[in-house]
Amino acid sequence: MATMVADQEITQSRLSDADAWYAVERRDARYDGRFVYAVASTKVYCRPSCPSRRPSRANVSFYATPDDAERGGYRACLRCRPRNGSALSEAHATIERARRYLDKHSDRIVSLSELAEAVGLSTSHLQRSFKQVVGISPKAYQEANRVRRFKTRNISATSSSLLWSRERLRHNDTAGW
């Protein structure tokens, strides 16, 4: 069940069915490798960018991987060949690794060159692809991680310490702060 674990790790980027369908409607190649869609009427599954005619939404279901679709009784489309990793889906996998690396080291600032070395890309390529896939730069991603951790920590703070800091704030107020 190793793939299940890997899927779990990517849950952050898990798509809703509505998002997936939107990607299919636009034949968005950026989603290739992230899921496949299966068509009940033809028993065929495709990558999001497949050039074939769009099926009606009612006939479509989504699977995370070609294996899942095949377990569901579908066969790979001969046109878009969803089993073959495209250059794009390989890029996705690399960026996913970069993202996991940042998540793992979220307690410190990871430089672009360190990250590039960790995933085996040039810094400029990494910067560009990361932004394309994730939507923000590695730096902004780390910032967002930090903010999230900060919020989590604050929520777990006890109410007494919150009271205490409010008390201290008031104190500072009167002290002319």
- Catalytic site positions: 46, 50, 77, 80
Q: How far is the CB of 72 from Zn ion (least distance, A)?
A: 16
The least CB distance from residue 27 to Zn ion, in Å, is 10
Shortest distance in whole angstroms from residue 77 CB to Zn ion = 3
DSSP 55: P
Residue that the structure tokens 């910067």 belong to: 127
In angstroms, give the least distance from the CB of 50 to Zn ion: 3
Integer Cα distance of 6 and 68 in angstroms? 14
d(CA 12, CA 10): 5
Task: Closer to Zn ion by CB, 69 or 133: give it.
Answer: 69
Bridge partners (DSSP) listed for residue 44: 39, 75
> Using the rule CB under 5 A, is 60 a contact of Zn ion?
no
Q: Quick check: 57 binds Zn ion (CB under 5 A)?
A: no
Q: Does position 80 bind Zn ion by CB under 5 A?
A: yes
| C-beta of residue 20 within 8 angstroms of C-beta of residue 37 | yes
**36 belongs to the binding site for Zn ion (CB under 5 A):** no
Closer residue to Zn ion (CB): 44 or 98: 44
Among 14, 71, 79, 149, binds Zn ion (CB under 5 A): 79
Neighbouring CB atoms inside 10 A of 91's CB total 19
Tell me how far CA of residue 149 lies from CA of 58, 65, 130, 140, in angstroms: 40, 31, 21, 14
Decide whether 52 or 106 has the Cβ nearer to Zn ion.
52
Binding site for Zn ion (CB under 5 A): 46, 50, 52, 77, 79-80
